[in-house]
Amino acid sequence: MTAFAATTSYELRMQLRKPAIWIATVIPYGLYAVLATMGTQDLERLTQDTDPKTWMAASLGWFTPLLAMVFGFVLADRLVRDRKLGVAQLLDVTPSNRSARLFGKYLGACAATAIPVALVYLIVGATFAIWRDRPTALLWAAATFAAVVVPLLLLTGALAFLGPQLMPTPLFRTLIVGIWFWAGATEVESQFPSLAASVLSLTMDYPLHVFFGSRDPAGPFEGAALNVLRPEPTVGTALLSLALILAIAAAILAAARALRFRVSE
């Protein structure tokens, strides 16, 4: 087995045994489900809507945008922990490829973190498919997961590999909360420069709005700062948003790799 495959497999199995990734997924969605059932408007919309595409977007509510914080908290210690325990130094003297090990750790950790979220999407989709006799809900659940969760996870995972190398892990976890608010949860109408409702939003506004009919805003706002990053929502701009998120994730992971190897020399 190659170093990449072995590292990916080990990281995946090890991460899945950690209660933290299950707790960090169940609590925010469970909280949203409770709040949705308590709100008359939300509950009425969910019970009356029969379109599986819009139902998936609406039923997951702010659980999807909140994932950036969840992923950041869970993945923050994955790279620096090996160095603190002395494992990284031992592995570095083996003949295995260091880049392959790092990318295997990254993909394995991201895949393990994605599994609890994928189960939530599957359960929500299956519930609607049985309740409304609309089996296509399962396809929309898979599409929502692929177009929204996976790019967000890859970006946050890359940040979690770079950030804790530059600052203490608790500080990075605090910072990821601030980044999430700045890049997704701030009021777009204000003059404060924000990435909310932009092609770089961590709430994935363009894909959610264009592909899944989400009611969350996407596009230019009169008087708002950084409107250059808020073109009209179209299929092209939604795909651009996905491409930019993935490209930034790749650049950040490359920076994390360079810093990791520089420190180990």
Asked if residue 189 lies in contact with residue 223, where contact means CB atoms within 8 angstroms, the answer is yes
The tokens of 144 are what?
A: 């929502």
At 252, the amino acid letter reads: I
Helix and strand counts by DSSP (H, E) for the chain: 13, 0
Given a cut of 60, is residue 265 above it in pLDDT? no
pLDDT 10s digits, 25-70: 888 888 877 776 665 455 556 666 678 888 887 777 777 777 888 8
Nearest Cα to 91, choosing from 78, 104, 82? 82
Exposure class string for 99-114: b at 16+ Cβ within 10 A, else e? ebbbbbbbbbbbbbbb
Asked if residue 187 lies in contact with residue 196, where contact means CB atoms within 8 angstroms, the answer is yes
Asked if residue 129 lies in contact with residue 45, where contact means CB atoms within 8 angstroms, the answer is no
pLDDT averaged over every residue in the chain: 83
The tokens of 19 are what?
A: 């209660």
Nearest Cα to 25, choosing from 138, 104, 117? 117
Euclidean distance between CA atoms 34 and 20, whole angstroms: 21
DSSP run (H or E) holding 90:
helix 87-92
Euclidean distance between CA atoms 231 and 229, whole angstroms: 6
CA angle 191, 194, 200 (to 5 degrees): 145
Given a cut of 90, is residue 158 above it in pLDDT? yes
Surface-to-core class of residue 48, CB atoms within 10 Å of its CB (0-12 exposed, 13-18 middle, 19+ buried): exposed
pLDDT 10s digits, 104-142: 889 999 999 999 999 988 998 898 888 888 889 899 999
Instruction: Give the global pTM.
Output: 0.87
pLDDT 10s digits, 207-247: 988 998 877 778 788 777 888 889 999 999 999 999 999 99
Euclidean distance between CA atoms 189 and 218, whole angstroms: 12
pLDDT at 238: 94
Q: Higher pLDDT residue, 240 or 262?
A: 240
pLDDT at 58: 77
Lowest average pLDDT, out of 35-44, 99-108, 193-202, goes to: 35-44
Asked if residue 126 lies in contact with residue 87, where contact means CB atoms within 8 angstroms, the answer is no
What CA–CA distances, in Å, run from 99 to 113, 156, 163? 21, 19, 18
